[in-house]
Amino acid sequence: GAVVSQHPSWVICKSGTSVKIECRSLDFQATTMFWYRQFPKQSLMLMATSNEGSKATYEQGVEKDKFLINHASLTLSTLTVTSAHPEDSSFYICSASGASGRAQYFGPGTRLTVT
């Protein structure tokens, strides 16, 4: 149980375009979803937390207008990187937790390359 999927697993886009990443909890209802960014050989950096039906809470330094997060249902959250630039190239990982909110289950990650 506790499976989280992400789509796409990798994406290449041109500078100035937008890209959407989907995160789905497959076998449980995710009341809270999290979006992380990870640079090579570094730990996870939390970008934002979202609860179903509510606006996301962004961490300090994360541009909310650039990284749009939608958590419209208990099984789906999306991260849209708007007007992407090469510095946005990174590994983006989502996680989800259920009603108990104790453990977080991570998706497989999405590698974004902006050319």
Partner 1 sequence: QKEVEQDPGPLSVPEGAIVSLNCTYSNSAFQYFMWYRQYSRKGPELLMYTYSSGNKEDGRFTAQVDKSSKYISLFIRDSQPSDSATYLCAMRGEYGNKLVFGAGTILRVKS
User: Can you give the binding site for partner 1, defined by CB under 8 A?
Assistant: 2, 4, 6, 32, 42-44, 46, 49, 91, 93, 95, 97, 101-109, 111
Scanning the chain, the segments in alpha helix (DSSP H) are none
In the complex with partner 1, the residue whose CB is nearer, 65 or 100, is: 100
Q: Do 52 and 71 contact (CB within 8 A), yes or no?
A: yes
- Of 19 and 33, which CB lies nearer to partner 1 in the complex structure? 33
24: number of Cβ within 10 Å: 19
Min CB(62)–partner 1 separation in Å: 14
Instruction: Quickly count: other Cβ atoms within 10 Å of residue 99's Cβ.
Output: 11
Angle at the Cα of 27 from the Cα atoms of 70 and 35, rounded to 5 degrees: 35
- As measured in angstroms, the least distance from the Cβ of 11 to partner 1 is 14
Give least dist CB 101 to partner 1, A.
5
